Amino acid sequence: MELRDKSIIVTGASSGIGAASALLFGEEGANVVLGARRSAELEKLADTINRGNGRAIFLAGDVMDENYANALVDLAVTDFGGLDGAFNNAGILGDLVQVPDMQLRNWNEVISVNLTSAFLAAKAQIPAMKKNGAGSIVFTSSFVGFSNGGMPGMGAYAASKAGLIGLAQSLASDHALDGIRVNALLPGGTLTPAGGSDPGTLEFIANLHPVKRMANATEIAQAAVFLLGGRSSFMTGSPMIVDGGMSVRLT
């Protein structure tokens, strides 16, 4: 029960790493505020968490809306008495094309959803955590934000995920004396709906890893529990790589 009675926001919670993490946070005894666009999926997830060790409430909305970021924090404070942690996980792949062929619309969308939404989330979350005198924020970056690893057409995605590492490090420095830790979680290839289901593509991604497989979402969620919990109390500003050995292959 690493997260017992901790109030934690999860964005991108309707599927994939976000949903798996919210479920695991609930199993660890957390009070979870679920955020994503799809209300029906959030409601089902909240019901599952509420039948177990945790408590959950949800609010559907757009992570690129600053009012929505503020509303998620308000829910945590109003319903759970404060905000202890946040897993800012929402993200998209965008169109996988080389930069000369990329539409500005695609670039802007990927940067907005993956990076600007994290800025808006942290902007809303940090004042609430300062009132508590402590807090932990985790951004879902990617191994692609650390080193491309042979993945084609990832210009916008890689830039956004590298930006999250820089944002985490800057916030960690700015708010260390406020008792707020900020880290980036860098998953390797992970089996999620966003990654598609084409067997050839999945096999290609799996074979990039020395372990010759992709992660399941719960494996990444376990790392998020560690970063949000007390066992990582001396970690801040860290890009935590959970990539099945990808970084070893690239060195």
Q: Give the per-residue SS3 of 163-225.
A: HHHHHHHHHHHHHHHHCEEEEEEEECCEECHHHCCCHHHHHHHHHHCCCCCCEEHHHHHHHHH
CA proximity to 87, closest of 28, 144, 173: 28
* Catalytic position from the list 58, 80, 157, 226: 157
| Long-range contacts, stretch 237-240, CB < 8 angstroms, 24+ apart | 237/168, 237/169, 237/172, 237/173, 237/182, 237/183, 238/168, 238/183, 238/184, 239/141, 239/145, 239/146, 239/165, 239/168, 239/183, 239/184, 239/186, 240/183, 240/184, 240/185, 240/186
Encoded tokens for 59: 């609010």
Encoded tokens for 238: 């860290």
Q: Answer yes or no: 68 catalytic.
A: no
Mark residue 156 as left, alpha or beta (left: phi above 0; alpha: psi -120 to 50; beta: remaining): alpha
Partner residues linked to 64 by β-bridges: none
CB 180 within 8 A of CB 130: yes
Just list the catalytic residues: 157
